[in-house]
């Protein structure tokens, strides 16, 4: 039996899809503005490289498409959410490492908490929820065993 995805999960996925889409569009089409004006602390990460920023934007656009697709039927397309969660987790780990190594200051930590760490935690949590077997699936598996 196909279990319907709760509406709140779809709403969260649409929110994250929009967030990744906006970031990806900004990074791809206006990398200089994104780098110097839109996200506090980015210039402290090193010299500006328009190609690298635009490249990163393409990945954000891909994640946005996957999350939007998953929002239509998150249980069926849970792998797209897990992929977005893994990408977000790797990004968060890079930032944690960069802080630990002294490559980034803590001056813009609030921006990172709101823009990187909280979305990562939520996406990982959603991926876990969606990949868990439903009660119907689990009880059906027990009956056939």
pLDDT by residue for the chain (145 residues), tens digit each? 356 789 999 999 999 999 999 999 999 999 999 999 988 888 988 899 999 999 999 999 999 999 999 999 999 999 999 999 999 999 999 999 999 998 888 888 999 999 999 999 999 999 999 999 876 655 555 555 5
pLDDT at 1: 36
User: For residue 66, which of 16, 134, 118 has the smallest C-alpha distance?
Assistant: 16
Let me know if residue 144 belongs to a domain: no
pLDDT at 10: 96
Let me know if residue 90 belongs to a domain: yes
Let me know if residue 66 belongs to a domain: yes
Let me know if residue 115 belongs to a domain: yes
pTM of the model: 0.85
Domain that holds residue 123: 7-138
Let me know if residue 143 belongs to a domain: no
Let me know if residue 1 belongs to a domain: no
Provide φ and ψ at 106, rounded to 5°.
Answer: -90, 5
**Overall domain count for the chain:** 1
Let me know if residue 71 belongs to a domain: yes
């Amino acid at each position: 039996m196909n279990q319907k995805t709760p509406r709140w999960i779809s709403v969260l996925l649409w929110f994250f899809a929009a967030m990744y889409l906006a970031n990806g569009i900004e990074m791809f089409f206006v990398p200089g503005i994104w780098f110097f004006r839109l996200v506090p602390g980015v210039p402290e990460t090193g010299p500006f490289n328009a190609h690298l920023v635009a490249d990163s934007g393409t990945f954000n656009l891909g994640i946005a498409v996957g999350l939007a697709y998953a929002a239509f039927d998150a249980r069926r397309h849970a792998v797209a959410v897990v992929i977005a969660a893994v990408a977000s987790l790797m990004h968060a780990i890079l930032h944690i490492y960069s802080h630990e190594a002294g490559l980034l200051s803590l001056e813009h930590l609030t921006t990172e908490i709101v823009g990187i760490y909280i979305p990562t935690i939520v996406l990982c949590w959603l991926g876990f929820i969606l990949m868990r077997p439903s009660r119907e699936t689990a009880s059906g598996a027990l009956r056939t065993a």
